[in-house]
Structure formats: C-alpha cells, structure tokens
Amino acid sequence: MQSPIAPPRSPRPRQLRWSRSLVVVALALVFAPLASTQALAKSSWQGVLSDHKLPQPPWPRRSSVRPNPAMAMFPMAAPNAYGPEPSAPSAIDRERFANALEQLCGTKTKLRRAHSAISHETAIQLTTHVLRWSKHFKVDPFVVSALVFRRSRCRARVHRRGLVGLGRIDVASHELHIRSGFYTYFVLDGDNTWQPRTLDVRLFRFSRRSLLRPSANIYFTAALLAVSGLQAPSLERAVKQVPHRHYVSHFVWGDRVRSSRNEELILQARRRMLRLYRADTPRPRARCRGIALQSPLDGYPRKISSGHRAWRVVAGRRRRHNGVDFVSTYGEPVRAAADGTVVFAGAHVRGGGWLLPPERARKVRSRSMISGLFVTLRHGRGVRTRYFHLSGYTVRTGQYVKAGQIIGWVGRTGIKQSAPHLHFEIHHWGRRLNPAYYLRPYLLPPHGKGLRRRRGYATRHLSVL
C-alpha cells in the first residue's frame, strides 16, 4: 500500500528568520568582548608577575604609551639618592598658585625664544581646575600641576601617540575600566585576593573629544592619579617593578613601572613649583673661596649630564669640557648663584662676543653663535660665574643682581646636537674650577664625592648620564 504523500512544509516566515539572526548576533556581541577580555587579561600578565603565589590580576594589564622611549631608558639617579620631598602647604593661596603655574609653564615675554607659554588668564583658569579637582579626589595639587607641565607643557589641544590633553591621558588603557560613570580597579586584601573597588567619575564623559577640554582632562588626571595611589601598594607586591619613589610612575607607565626617570622629572617640576609658589630665597648651602653659593636652577637636587674636564668631540677634534651641564628643561629660569655685578651679557659668536641689551639678544641667529647667549657675573674675591646657552636674559652689563634673582632662561642657543641644558662655569682669578665640587649639596650622585683638588682643578671628571 502506497504511503500517503506528506503535505508540503510551509516556508519559514522571513520575520522569524531575521529575529533568530538578531538574537545570535546580540549574543555574540555580548559574550565575544567578555571572552576576548578574559583571554587578553590572561595573556598580558605572562612574565611580569613577581609573586606566583598571588592570584593573577583579573583585568588586562594597563601599559601606557611611553612619553619618550629614548629618554626613559636612562634613570637620573637611584631612588635612595633623594631625600624626602618637601611637603605642600596646607592652605593654598589661589593667586600665588596661579603666578607659580604661569612661571612654571612659561611666561609670555619678548626677551626669550619661547617654545610654549601661557597667559595669566589661562594660568588662573588652570589653577581653578587643579585646586578644585585635587581637593575632590584628595591628591596633591602640586603633583597635578607638575604632571600637566611635564606631559603637555600646559597645552590643552594635544593628541599625539594615543595620549590626549593636558595630562596626556592614555584613553585605550583606561576606557575598559570605566562603566556607567564608575572606574573599577582592584586591590589585594588581607587574604591575598583581588577585591574590586570603584571611583565615581560621572561628572565628565571619558572620551578623546571630552579630554581635549581643560576641565575634563584635569578632572580625570586627578582621578587616575588617585587610583594610582590607591592601587600602587598592591601592584608593587604582585608585579615586577623598577625601584621608584612615587605612585605617579603608575600614572605614566600603567601597572608595570619600567623606568623612574619620568617620575624624577615630574617630582623635580613639583619642587620648582613649590619654590615659585613660596617666592623666597633659600639660605645658601655651598661656598667657594669665601663666597656663598646657591643652585642656579630650582628644584634641586639636580643632575649633571657632562662633568668638568670631560672629553668632548667637536668638529672632529677632542677637547676638554670647561664646566658642567645641568639636565634641565627649555625655558627654565636661571638664577644668580650669588650677589654680584653683570660684567657681560650678550652672545658668543665667531670672532668674539657681542654685548647686547636683552631685547636685542633674541634676534641673533642661533646658527651664528658658538656658545650662544650667556651672562657673566663678578662676585668678588676673584670669583666669577658664567651661564651659557640661554634662550634669553633679563640683565644688562653693569647691573647689580642679588642671589636667587632670575637672570635668564635655559635654552639651546649655540648647541648643535645636544638637548637644551645650562652650561655653568666658576672662575677664580681666571682659572676654571670644578663647579660640581662646590655645588655638591645641590647635586645628585655622582656629584664629585671623593674628588681631590689640585691648583683649583679636579683630578677626576664626573661620569655622564
């Protein structure tokens, strides 16, 4: 008997097929990022954990873009070479803070070649945001100001190499941790387990476009700095780190700190900011032939990149270095090391030196100079100090200056290859002395410890960075 023919199956409705496809796509969009995040978190921590008895961190490792890879490879000094950092004042005057921030970022003036500078109105605006959000997240406003200066030179419209705004925030490293206006981070508890914590950051949207605004960028800079401080003790236990002193290194590097140089430069800028805020002249700590000396640069202790009598190769010829080079930043104010009279303020060019008033010095072409713009001060008892490679100066020949008075700014006039720095010399009756020997209280090691003097000269020279 022939089986009956089954009725033809009715075609599946197109609407039902589309709905099932949408469900599959939605489930893929929900679970695919979760699976990829877990896989990324597992693979990103391989080889960087210091204690394998601790559980692996449950988030993908934050590895910020390095601000300057070539510079970050060379630390300035060991962390134990520094003393304690100066404390910030409990009550902060807004106007004095704005003036200090304006000088730190660079005052607009016609007496120097300025790479970056801000107006007083901009300094007041930045001061308002820094003091407000630093108090809100309980962080040091002087650290926030130094961070803004070192990262972006106080320029808000900065978007380079994935780093955005005043604090040059790495959006890619932090956007996975912000959900519904809360930043989620983890810390180790007493049982050595990672416990989640949250920080409310709902006031501004975390996006590249929003971070180009000064208010939003400083808000998140202070927030991320607070997270770094809360999470730093746990990261130091679980992750391999280079020795460092401050949690600001985690803001720069992420979860794993690979160099302390950026931290040192930021803390140096903080010490400069404190000196500018207090607007006082500290007591001199050094002496040379009976003359009290102080550091020509703020933010000490400072580092020397090239020592006295070190060998140099210039135009294919070897010669000795007549002085010391301070590691410094373009536009940094240069101060008189002691009371004295200006005996020369001008440019060192081929054929001799030109005496120039301050307003004409910046018009001289840098290519025509040998040692650039420089100032020489006479302090008495045969002692003279000289300051080279300035971007500009404020004094005139014959003028009397006090110790600590600003006489110019760090530049790179007359420099062919090196970075901006201050070349500093001390002369005694025409003979060049080793400045590192006399300025030891203001220098980081190696600062001439163990040097032997012979007829005004040092028998050994300092090592370079």
Does 393 lie in the same domain as 248?
Answer: no
pLDDT score at 414: 82
Contacts of 198-204 with C-beta under 8 Å, sequence gap 24+, read 199/223, 199/226, 199/227
SS3 of 82, please? coil
pTM above the 0.85 mark? Answer: no
Decide if 377 contacts 336 (C-beta within 8 A).
yes
Residue 222 and residue 95 share a domain: yes
Residues 352 and 401 in one domain: yes
Q: How many CA atoms lie within 13 A of 209 on its CB side?
A: 1
Strand-strand pairing, 333-335 and 406-410: antiparallel
What confidence score (pLDDT) does residue 337 get?
96
Residue corresponding to tokens 């003393």 = 83
For residue 235, give the nearest of 73, 51, 82 by alpha carbon.
51
Domain endpoint, select from 276, 311, 342: 276
Cα–Cα distance for residue pair 256/383, rounded to 1 Å: 48
| Same structural domain, 393 and 316 | yes
Identify the residue whose tokens are 């992420």: 254
Rounded Cα–Cα distance for residues 422 and 116 (Å): 18
User: How many domains does one find in the chain?
Assistant: 2
Residues 164 and 75 in one domain: yes
Separation CA 41–CA 34 (nearest Å): 10
Q: Contact at 8 Å (CB) between 444 and 301? A: yes
What pLDDT score does 114 carry?
62
Q: Establish if 337 belongs to a structural domain.
A: yes
Q: Mark whether 246 and 323 lie in a shared domain.
A: no
Establish if 22 belongs to a structural domain.
no
Is the previous residue joined to 446 through a cis bond, with omega within 30 degrees of 0?
yes
Would 75 be classed as within a structural domain?
yes
Domain holding 73, by residue range, is 69-79+91-276
In-domain check, residue 56: no
If asked whether residues 221 and 266 sit together in one domain, one would say yes
Residue 336 maps to a domain: yes
Cα 55 from chain centre: 33
Assigned domain for 266 exists: yes
- Measured distance CA(376)–CA(425) in Å, rounded: 9
Say yes or no: 340 and 200 in one domain. no
Residues 266 and 379 in one domain: no
User: Which of residues 224, 250, 276 is at a domain's end?
Assistant: 276
Query: Of 276, 306, 323, which residue sits at a domain end?
Result: 276
pLDDT value, residue 451: 39
CB 401 within 8 A of CB 394: no
Q: Is 202 within the bounds of a domain? A: yes
Cβ-contact 419, 464 below 8 angstroms = no
The first and second tokens of residue 420, run together, are 């901006």
Indicate whether 463 belongs to any domain. Answer: no
What are the residues facing 428 on neighbouring strands?
A: 383, 431
CATH assignment of the domain containing 311: 2.70.70.10
**CATH number for the domain harbouring residue 213:** 1.10.530
Q: Where are the alpha helices (DSSP H) in 45-119?
A: 69-72, 94-105
- What pLDDT does residue 109 have? 67
Residues 451 and 345 in one domain: yes
**With contact defined as beta carbons under 8 Å apart, do 147 and 134 qualify?**
no
Both 127 and 228 in one domain: the answer is yes
Low-confidence ranges of the chain (pLDDT < 50): 1, 30-40, 67, 69-70, 72-73, 447-465
Q: Are 125 and 119 in contact (CB under 8 A)?
A: no
Residue 25: per-residue pLDDT: 55
- What region does 213 belong to: left with phi over 0, alpha with psi -120 to 50, or beta? beta
Residues with Cβ within 8 Å of residue 310, at least 6 apart in sequence: 320, 321, 461, 462, 464
325 and 213, same structural domain?
no
Q: What is the pLDDT of residue 119?
A: 87
Q: What is the pLDDT of residue 294?
A: 94
CA 353 – CA 420 distance, rounded (Å): 21
Cα–Cα nearest to 311, from 299, 320, 301: 320
